[in-house]
Amino acid sequence: MVGNYVWILRRLFYTVIVVFALTTVVFLSLHLLPGDPVHALVGERASHESVERIRLKYNLDKPLYIQYATWLRNVLRGDFGTSILSKRPVIDEIMAKLPHTLELIILSQSIAILLAIFLGVLSAVKQHTILDYLTTVLSVLGVSMPAFWLALMLIITFSVKLDWFPTHGLMGTGVPLRTISQSYLIDALLTGNLLALGSFLKHAFLPCVVLATIPLSYITRLTRSSMLEVMNEEYVWTARAKGLSEFKVIFKHALRNALIPVIIMSGVITGLLMGGAVLTETVFGLPGMGRLLVDSIAVRDFPVALACVLLFAAGYNLINLAADIVCGLVDVRASYD
């Protein structure tokens, strides 16, 4: 047991190093880029003095290693600097965007995972029926479809032609909502504001469908194939022979083991999801982290871009680590080394 904790701590330490190294490489590469953020900010025709003033203010006149050391020292103190574009603290920018991305991801993923496991089990248990074929075809289509194209098709069908959902944003204009947590969902629930809740759900519906599609298809396929494998294992037959109900056999004995591959692949799925969030937020014009990353890179807003990279990398690696740990706990065969 002690060995496990040492292993987990070592992995955690290594994860921190990898995230730090990645951010360093990104810092250096972004600063070696041609194209001057100062000019992007004040325009090409700005006076020499104003260019110099901004250069001084953001430390852009100093050698790269000093800029890097300053940045690192500040980040370790929890200060991510000031956005060059909006002039607001980076942490404020992120706190305004992160809750929206999280509410979309949590909503869409909880539905996607539950539905995927249900469909995967169903199509494995009812193998070679129409239901199984339909699920398989849909999940293959789901993984082959570019998420941003699905988003466009949904907009054309459900927003433009049928006019059921809005095409843009996360909250209707003019809907009164007191800001408590920056998350529309939580704020609407906390204040019991049904109007705002309705508006949010209406706006979030299509983006959630898009964000759910890839994990849904992926996990359905995985669950189905690992269920099929597990259903022929001896312990499943033993459970049946003991006279347990088919429901108990499937959900208590088979599914628990069939889910291991799903946990193993959760890192991959998270990666796909993060890429999908960038594109989905762009298509639907949502105020989230994905768009913040795209926009900050486009205008060379280094402090914001770096903070986004740091956050995405930390999230991605921590989920991968968590998946490894859970697999180790669930499956005794996985070795810690």
Partner 1 sequence: MIEFSSFKKNKLFIIGVGMSGMVILCGIFAPWIATHGMTEGTLQYRLKPPSTDHLFGTDQLGRDVFSRVIHGARLSLLSGSMVVLISAVIGVSLGVLAGYRGGIIDNFLMRLTDLLLAFPSFLLAMLVVTILGLGLKNAVLAVAIAYIGPLSRLARGTTIKLKGIEFVEAARAVGGGPWHNILVHILPNIISSILIQMALNFGAAIVDIAGLSFLGLGAQPPQPEWGAMLSSGRYYVQTAWWLCTFPGLAIMFLVLACVFVGDGFREILDPKHG
Phi, psi of 182 (to 5 degrees): 75, -15
- Least Å distance, CB 309 to partner 1, is 7
Sole window of 28-36, 171-179, 189-197, 255-263 interacting with partner 1 (rule: CB under 8 A): 28-36
* Cβ(205)–Cβ(142) below 8 Å: no
The two three-digit tokens of residue 31, written as one number: 């600063």
Q: Report residue 209: phi and psi, to 5°.
A: -60, -45
Q: Please, which of residues 138-167 interact with partner 1 by CB under 8 A?
A: 140-141, 143-146, 148-149, 152-153, 155-156, 160-161, 167
Among 37, 317, 323, 324, binds partner 1 (CB under 8 A): 317
Q: Count of residues binding partner 1 (CB under 8 A)?
A: 45
Nearest to 315 by CA among 102, 113, 116: 102
Tell me how crowded residue 88 is: count the other CB atoms within 10 A of its CB: 12
198 versus 285: smaller Cβ distance to partner 1? 285
Q: Considering the complex, what minimum distance in angstroms separates the CB of residue 240 from partner 1?
A: 22
Binding string to partner 1 for residues 162 to 191, with x set by CB under 8 A, is what?
-----x------------------------
Q: Are 123 and 132 in contact (CB under 8 A)?
A: yes
Instruction: Pick one of 29, 47, 173, 335: the residue that binds partner 1 (CB under 8 A).
Output: 29
Complex with partner 1: residue 37 or 193, whichever CB lies closer: 37
The Cβ-side half-sphere exposure at 157, using a 13 Å CA radius, reads: 7
- Residue 121's nearest CA partner among 262, 258, 260 is 258
Under rule CB under 8 A, residue 58 binds partner 1: no
Nearer to partner 1 (CB atom), residue 188 or residue 224:
224
Q: In 3-state terms, what secondary structure has residue 89? A: strand
Q: Which is nearer to partner 1, 72 or 177 (CB)?
A: 72
Q: Which of residues 256-275 bind partner 1 (CB under 8 A)?
A: 270-272, 274-275
HSE of 252, CA atoms in CB hemisphere, 13 A = 11
Which two three-digit tokens encode residue 210? 């898009």
Tell whether residue 30 is a contact of partner 1 (CB under 8 A).
yes
Q: Minimal distance in Å, beta carbon 277 to partner 1?
A: 10
Distance of alpha carbon 300 from alpha carbon 311, whole angstroms: 18
171: left (phi over 0), alpha (psi -120 to 50) or beta: beta
- Minimum CB distance to partner 1, residue 84 (Å): 16
Least Å from the CB of residue 145 to partner 1: 5
8 binds partner 1 (CB under 8 A): no
Helical H segments across 85-172, by residue range: 90-125, 130-144, 147-154
Q: Determine the Cα–Cα distance for residues 67 and 64; give it in Å rounded to an integer.
A: 5
How long a stretch of residues is the chain?
Answer: 337
Binding of residue 334 to partner 1 (CB under 8 A): no
Window 223 to 242, contacts with partner 1 (CB under 8 A): 225
Contact 154, 167 (CB under 8 A): no
Binding site for partner 1 (CB under 8 A): 18-19, 21-22, 25-26, 29-30, 32-34, 140-141, 143-146, 148-149, 152-153, 155-156, 160-161, 167, 225, 270-272, 274-275, 278-279, 282-283, 293-294, 297-298, 309, 312-313, 316-317
